[in-house]
Amino acid sequence: MAERSFAREVEDLKLGAGEVFRGEGILAITKALLQSGVSYVGGYQGSPISHLMDVLADAKDVLDELGVASAHVLGVSFGGALAQQMAVTHPGRVRRLVLVSTSFGGFAKPGDLRAFWHFIHPGSYHPVRLEKVAGSMFGGRMRTEPELVRSMHIRRPKNPWQAMYRMAPLFAWTSLPWLWTIRHPTLVVAGDDDPVTPHVNHRVMAALIPRARLYTVRGGGHMALIDSASEVGPVISSFLRGGSGAAPADGGLRAAASGQ
């Protein structure tokens, strides 16, 4: 396993029917997705991530250990970068690709500076303060229902430098030159009120990945997968079952392949 090991969490993900799973909300989502045949690659503020390729190695190792030859791969935020890399580095392990609230790294339009400051500043994570800044950090429903952030169990960085270190892998990485090489059926999901990963970046990915389609969550923010689950869930499920999962990429950007 890599430097920032998930050994204990991986063991928990192997629990079977009738066994009780205990863990953070994001891990519960991971467990549910695995049981549905989806390999989940997630990123969230405070997650113990240091090197992109280390996490990629862990993702492959987990599939090997679970005896999964190939899987649908869903990546959120930082995990979307890893999902893109996995589709290129280990294309045979990926069946369908879902990219949610993510980016292609370098050369992408940067997010809102206020959101970035709140992400790296430890003071933003005090329970009272977090509800006040949740809208600026995540956008979407967090602007009108900031109490939703209580269920996210976000880890506070010790200091801004630690937070910057956790984000460092994306500063020197970009998928832009090789997005065209991703041949998997791909669904790109984005909120149009995401201050972290602007909607235009998703439009670019949907345009450059040959078999990609874009689904836009109107009024959705960076956490659309969670705060708009009733809308996004059926779209992703339809796509993974072999449907389009979304209308062709909007705004003049087309979905290049009709066959799934």
In this predicted model, what pLDDT tens digit does every residue of 89-128 receive, in sequence order?
Answer: 889 999 999 999 999 988 899 999 899 888 888 888 888 8
Q: Is 16 exposed, middle or buried (0-12, 13-18, 19+ CB in 10 A)?
A: exposed
pLDDT above 80 for 85? yes
* Residue 79 banded pLDDT, cuts 50, 70, 90: confident
Torsion angles phi and psi, residue 133, rounded to 5: -105, 0
Smallest CA-to-CA distance from 189 within 119, 250, 112 is with: 250
- Determine the pLDDT at residue 166: 67
HEC secondary structure over 112-128: CHHHHHHHHCHHHHCHH
- Determine the pLDDT at residue 203: 97
Q: Residue 72's beta-bridge partner residues?
A: 38
Domains with residue ranges and CATH for the chain: 7-79+91-109+174-240 (3.40.50.1820)
pLDDT above 90 for 207? yes
Smallest CA-to-CA distance from 220 within 209, 204, 235, 210 is with: 235
Q: Is-catalytic flag, 77? A: yes
Q: Does residue 74 sit in helix, strand or coil?
A: strand
Kindly state the average pLDDT of the residues 147-167.
76
* DSSP annotation string for 133-196: HHHHHH-GGGGT-GGGGGGG-PPPPSSHHHHHHHHHHHHT-B-GGGGGG--S-EEEEEETT-SS
| Cβ–Cβ under 8 Å, residues 121 and 204 | no
pLDDT above 50 for 247? no
Torsion angles phi and psi, residue 53, rounded to 5: -70, -30
CA dihedral sign of residues 77, 110, 88, 46: negative
Smallest CA-to-CA distance from 181 within 61, 85, 96 is with: 85
Given the residues 77, 101, 103, 175, select the one marked as catalytic: 77
* Residue 45 banded pLDDT, cuts 50, 70, 90: very low
- Determine the pLDDT at residue 66: 77
Q: State the Cα angle at 47 between 81 and 2, rounded to 5°.
A: 75
Pick the more confident residue, 37 or 160: 160
How crowded is residue 143: how many other Cβ atoms within 10 Å of its Cβ?
15
pLDDT above 90 for 10? no
Kindly state the average pLDDT of the residues 3-10.
52
CA distance 187 to 241: 12
- Determine the pLDDT at residue 49: 39
pLDDT above 50 for 27? yes
Residues sharing a CB contact under 8 Å with residue 230, sequence separation 6 or more, in sequence order:
none
Pick the more confident residue, 163 or 50: 163
CA-based R_g, the chain, Å: 17
pLDDT above 90 for 181? yes
188: tokens are 């790109």
